[in-house]
Amino acid sequence: MSTDTPEIHDLRKEFTELKRRLATTGYICTGSLMSLYHRCGKPYCACHRDQKALHGPYSVWTRKVQGKTVTRTLSSKQAELCRQCIQNMREIERIIERMKQLSVTYIERQR
């Protein structure tokens, strides 16, 4: 028989749900994903005469690796996968932050 108070029971229940959400999260990565437009190197191309004729959009992923910025141009498919991985990482960070808050509350409520 459990001697948990209703508050402790609720903390455990929420913490267990957060663990479940962590376990079901897909691939993760950090960084930023941007859409960029460029001028090409051909002086006769329309992109040099008209701002609206720039080439793109190109999906560019920027992140830090061992303290250095790494930039990669991605295909549309890769960009969508990267976008989802970044979202997953942000969700994991929110979940972990909430787990930390619950842990502090749990410790403080123990007798």
pLDDT tens, the chain, 111 aa long: 457 888 899 999 999 999 999 999 999 999 999 999 999 989 899 988 888 889 999 999 999 999 999 999 999 999 999 999 999 999 999 999 999 999 999 999 887
Residue 20 lies in a domain: yes
Which one, of 32, 28, 33, lies nearest residue 95 by Cα?
28
The total domain count for the chain is 1
Write down the pTM of the prediction.
Answer: 0.82
Entry field: residues in the chain: 111
Give, in order, the Cα–Cα distances in Å from 107 to each of 25, 90, 103. 27, 26, 6
- CB 72, CB 60: distance < 8 Å: yes
Confidence at residue 2, expressed as pLDDT on a 0 to 100 scale: 57
Residue 16 lies in a domain: yes
**Which structural domain, as residue segments, surrounds residue 83?**
6-109
- CB 62, CB 70: distance < 8 Å: yes
